[in-house]
Structure 1
Amino acid sequence: MSPLKATSRWPEYFPVVTDSGRQDALRHHQKDVESRWFHVLPTTLPKRYSRVILAALVACAFLYLYSFHGGYLSAKYSSEKELAWTPSTPFPEVQQEKPEDGLPPLYEAYKAYEVDVSERILEQNGTGRYIYFANHPTTCGWGNVLQEMVYGSLLASEANLGYVYDDFTWDIDGRNYSQFNGKLIPARIPLSTMLSGHLLGLSEEEAQQASTPPRSINRRVYEQICPQNERVYIRRETAQAYLKKIQSPIDLDADTGLDILHGWLAALNSPEYKAAKCIEVVWGSTHIFDIWLFGNERVQSLWTRLSMSPTLRHWGWSPLILRAFERNAHLLAPSSQPGGLLPGLFGDSWSLPNAVKSYLPYPTPAVHLENGENVAVVESQEETKTKNPTSIDPKILDHSEPLPLLALHLRRGDFQEHCFNLAEWGAPYSGMNTFPELRAHDEFVVPRVASTQEEHALVEASTTKRRIVGNETLVASMEDRKLIYGIHCFPDAEQIARRVREVVHDYVSFTQERERIKNTPWWAWSSVAKDERDQGVEPSTVSLDEEPGLSERTDPTPNDMLRKVFIQTNGNKEWLAEVKQALMADAERSTAPVDASQAPEDGWAFEWHWEDVVTSRDMDLGWEEKPVAQVLDSYISHRAEVFVGNGFSSLTSHVVIQRKQRGFDPLQIRFCPHPPADSMQPDSLHNCLLRYITTHHQQSQYTATSTAHIRSGLHNGLAVSEFGFLTPDPTHITIRLPTLSAYTYKTSNH
């Protein structure tokens, strides 16, 4: 199923299709068809015709239900189709226990599995044309490796070439083990321990079609079918020389991501490479898509192609990762069923788009014990004391459903030094973390270090040595800039707790407005607005403090949707205990709410409760699962109801594109703390507000977030262009958009 199809339940809240005109036309077409059928049927029919029509309708209904549910059940539970194309060797048995020598796993069975899969693909489909990126990143983090694979796979698909994948490689010198932070780690980890789907040639949909490009194969099999004398080599300089030869203006070093893609497609379609069976990007050469592109907004031009590519459309997670999740699901599941809900944690209206339900069926890996016995699931002694897995809501185990979590990506370890380096370089957020709809809430502007004259003015005018003028942040020194970077990049426990509170406040406003719009008849919007204009009355206002309390609601409340906090991190247990205490203590303050007009940084405007704070360190992982734990973290974060990432992280970037692909709202994709609101100036708020309204108005006239809760720096007389206006009252903001009534939200009175 195409991931570009918006949900039928909430077409207005998940406008995944970027072409809004095409989406509106489709809706009108559906209404016209319904109307025509309504008028075609006669009002009375002879009995014999009625029986025939009734029988036909029953037959059609049966066929429809069979095709829908049968296909769904087949995709989720049946393995008959899978047996037609999967390798003869099943997925490796999971080695749960650490061997006596205590060494990390080498994953030999997984490497053999990948070879078997690739050989089976060639047996079924024949040998095609392939491209191998021998210059893929090594000796770096998983996020950097993953983003290069994703975009390399995109190029391969666009060039109609099969993608050749390799191990996640730390050392290339042939050793079995490397060292990281004084510990032994596997030098090479096969991708099948982490991923599945298109990247590994394991897409069921592609397997059942005689489609091009060829399905992905493993590097070891590529080397068998492509001896060195049959390989044709290419590098960036070669491609750039060809572009110059054909007088193309494309600069592979500095142009947009889409232009770079087009430039490489032109080079791969040149006479030298057009008929080549085996194309290899030279080892050690410059990457096709490099860190300078990934760290810049230029990469966003590739989003449309990427979102429609088989790489994301047929994405899959390794059975090893899914099994690890299922074994730890009790840590993430709610401790109790929220009141007022029918079976299932979430009501139907909270489901992600149907397009998400396209995850591949996975064989359940067995667990190999030292006595030779194979079992499906082995529970540790600690796990048997926890919730019975059978009592977990089935939707927690459904890979297409969101998890009732607020997920935080908190980098620690050596990342502090990296943050200071980022400050010295003046680096912005990673490119995929700066989409306009994300900047509307969490824009990061690189602070500019003032000149000597400007520094004197700062010292005289501000004790904080920081001023925001227009859209620019001016700081007195590099040390001040590093402090700002530290808040975004390496926050402490107090800053994290404050940021979580801010994000929760925004999420509550978002969900309340979303429910209000969902429950309002379509005809009411225009009629209410028209009546108010005709009568010359003040616009309708709705304030947060007029909402019923969380305890009075019977529908799923925001706190039902965010039951726990999950921290994706490499931090140590002592620091994580400090963060957990800060989060729980901050939520306890909500039992005595402050006035709703106060900003979240001053306290809670409503009652809130966290059932638990779970971290990466709490996961119960086996011997083979621990080295790939970061992938399990990403899997959890990409399903979380709300995600707060690190804007400078490539791993956060991948979670962001996964969440965008699956239709999460921008208010469910956030980033780490900003400087305290008392440093904000009116000009900055003015620009932020205009960007915010413009962005969301262009997305959809029914977007709930177009009336978000603005909290800081509001002053009298601030205009909002043609999109609406602000009341003279500095504690309220009123926004009117076309076809919508105006809504008033209280703000802080700084």
Structure 2
Amino acid sequence: MLYVRREPLPELVPSPSDQGSYSPRWPGRKLPPLYGQYHEYERRLPQHRWNAPSHASEPKYFWIAGHGRVGSGWGNVMQEILLNAHLSYKANRAYVFHNYTWNDDGSDYSDYNGKPIPSRVPLSALIRGPMIGEPWPEGDPAPLSVSEEYFYHACPERRVVPHNDVHDHLPSWFAADITKGWLDKLNSLDDQCVEAGADGGPPFNWVTFGDKDAMRDLWPELRRSPVLTHFAYSPLVELAFDTNREVFSPTSVLEPPLTSVPFTPSTPTAARYTEIPGLLVLHLRRGDYEGHCAHLARWSSSYMAYNALPELPDRFDPPPGGSWGENTPENVEIYMRHCFPTTAQILARVDELARVDAARGLRDVYVMTNGAVEWVEDLKRALRATGRWRTVASSRDLVLNWEQKYVAQAVDMLIGQRAQMLIGNGWSSLTGNIVVMRLANGRSAESTRFW
């Protein structure tokens, strides 16, 4: 272990002129928002005592410097921060949260398939709750989370724990073993400021999230953690949900919009995000996922850890006959049916699951997808042609403002979390986060399915 110093991070709040301008790098394209007001909100959290003469009386901190970043989708980042925040909570240390960072080279904008996107988005534009500095449930003495920027301000000197100091002594890469290993290490340290070294990556990485058994032992305690039971989406995301409610599930009785219901530390997630009766959500990854699904088939991959929790009814055991890095054409077809289904296969699976008890009363379909507009419209026509659905809508139908456009994944996740039934992709981290929230909020496991 070693002690290190680092200067405070530079100011991240852009000037108003940075928003909505144009750049010669992307001719004719409006630059995305930089979310300056959200950065400023995080800076003004009351536990951020910027002008305090000393920070010695503040709580102990835990900063995971090697967190997922640089090209990681929101689903990948969120699955990691849930476990990191839970680990910090268990250690009775303030969780240090960070920006959702697509590119950490210091640029404001990054190129994504020829389009500009924000290089970083503050977590407060996506989520809210104890993970990003709001109070824990009433009576819970856990220290309040702080931002990365504040951590470096309050902790110019800190103890760095190299990755191998913990992971070389673990019996497995399962989440429960990793949590215990880091808890033992953190509990042995009196240092106020502790950092998980970035030398070997974060405590929980793709190996853990990709193993179907890796969450099994930690899940009973994680599902009761206030990290999950008092999680919420940002007001920006909830506003998008309210604005589009009539698109994906028209209301039959007057319901107060989410944005009109005060968010309080005492309100559990399950009470805020109640089930929407009649709504079926389908998560269908397209685009480059076709190649990803073929890759999964070559390596005989199982469902991801969040999608293989023991109570879930749909299991996937890799079919026999494959070898390391190769698989049979028949097995590849099995993978594609579950991972990248055709329209005919989608319709057949929807018809099959519409007959189970948990599907009684379904009448609206919402398709969460990154698919091309033409493909999405063809699928919607096919769903309507069955004569079963009152409404059929998709991610492409949502009306989003300029800031909501770049957090649209979180909007989809909120819709999926509240659906009466979800049919998701067992290899998708975005599906996995929805699954975890549904189960933690008391949704029936029978109503959470896969292709």
TM-score norm. by structure 2 comes to 0.85
Alignment partners' CA distance in 2, 1:334 and 1:584 = 16
Residue 115, structure 1, aligned to residue 30, structure 2: no
Q: What count of residue pairs does the alignment treat as equivalent?
A: 411
Question: What SS is found at the alignment partner of 2:67?
Answer: coil
Alignment partners' CA distance in 2, 1:119 and 1:269 = 23
Match of 1:294 in 2: 209
Match of 1:408 in 2: 282
- Kept in 2: contact 1:407–1:640 (CA 8 A): yes
Aligned-pair distance for 1:109?
A: 1.5
Question: What SS is found at the alignment partner of 1:152?
Answer: helix
Alignment partners' CA distance in 2, 1:268 and 1:412 = 42
Amino acid at match of 2:77: V
- Kept in 1: contact 2:297–2:327 (CA 8 A): no
Alignment partners' CA distance in 2, 1:408 and 1:491 = 12
Structure 1 segment 524-603 matched on structure 2, within 5 A: 558-559=360-361, 562-585=362-385, 587-588=386-387
Question: What SS is found at the alignment partner of 2:137?
Answer: helix
Q: 1:218 aligns with which of 147, 150, 164?
A: 147
Match of 1:304 in 2: 220
Q: 1:318 aligns with which of 234, 242, 264?
A: 234
Aligned-pair distance for 1:404?
A: 2.8
- Kept in 2: contact 1:258–1:299 (CA 8 A): yes
Match of 2:446 in 1: 667
Alignment partners' CA distance in 2, 1:99 and 1:294 = 37
Structure 1 segment 453-464 matched on structure 2, within 5 A: none
Q: 1:635 aligns with which of 392, 414, 421?
A: 414
* Structure 1: stretches of 5+ with no match in the other structure: 1-91, 244-249, 338-342, 346-357, 363-396, 452-475, 512-557, 589-608, 673-750
Aligned-pair distance for 1:238?
A: 1.4
CA-based RMSD: 2.6
- Kept in 2: contact 1:104–1:184 (CA 8 A): yes
Q: Going by fraction, where is helix more abundant, 1 or 2?
A: 1
Aligned-pair distance for 1:125?
A: 12
Q: 1:493-516: CA deviations, max 9, x gaps?
A: 11111111111111xx347xxxxx
TM-score norm. by structure 1 comes to 0.52
Alignment partners' CA distance in 1, 2:150 and 2:364 = 44
Residue 236, structure 1, aligned to residue 163, structure 2: yes
Alignment partners' CA distance in 2, 1:647 and 1:220 = 35
Alignment partners' CA distance in 2, 1:194 and 1:566 = 21
Aligned-pair distance for 1:360?
A: 2.4
Alignment partners' CA distance in 2, 1:497 and 1:125 = 61
Q: 2:118 aligns with which of 186, 189, 202?
A: 186
Q: 2:20 aligns with which of 92, 96, 99?
A: 99
Q: 1:7-37: CA deviations, max 9, x gaps?
A: xxxxxxxxxxxxxxxxxxxxxxxxxxxxxxx
Match of 1:275 in 2: 190
Match of 2:78 in 1: 146
Q: 1:448 aligns with which of 320, 325, 349?
A: 320
Question: What SS is found at the alignment partner of 1:574?
Answer: helix
Match of 1:432 in 2: 306
Q: 1:574-615: CA deviations, max 9, x gaps?
A: 000111111111x22xxxxxxxxxxxxxxxxxxxx3111111
Question: CA 1:510/1:317 → structure 2, altered by over 3 Å: closer, same or farther?
Answer: closer
Aligned-pair distance for 1:478?
A: 2.5
Question: CA 1:421/1:161 → structure 2, altered by over 3 Å: closer, same or farther?
Answer: same
- Kept in 2: contact 1:405–1:642 (CA 8 A): yes
Q: 1:611 aligns with which of 380, 390, 400?
A: 390
Alignment partners' CA distance in 2, 1:104 and 1:255 = 38
Alignment partners' CA distance in 2, 1:359 and 1:662 = 19
Question: CA 1:629/1:125 → structure 2, altered by over 3 Å: closer, same or farther?
Answer: farther
Alignment partners' CA distance in 2, 1:500 and 1:240 = 43
Aligned-pair distance for 1:126?
A: 5.6
Residue 418, structure 1, aligned to residue 292, structure 2: yes
Question: CA 1:641/1:168 → structure 2, altered by over 3 Å: closer, same or farther?
Answer: same
Match of 2:343 in 1: 493
Alignment partners' CA distance in 2, 1:121 and 1:657 = 34
Question: CA 1:234/1:491 → structure 2, altered by over 3 Å: closer, same or farther?
Answer: same
Question: CA 1:496/1:240 → structure 2, altered by over 3 Å: closer, same or farther?
Answer: closer
Aligned-pair distance for 1:435?
A: 2.5
* Structure 2: stretches of 5+ with no match in the other structure: 1-12, 23-29, 256-260, 266-270
Q: Which has the larger radius of gyration?
A: 1
- Kept in 2: contact 1:315–1:359 (CA 8 A): no
Match of 1:505 in 2: 355
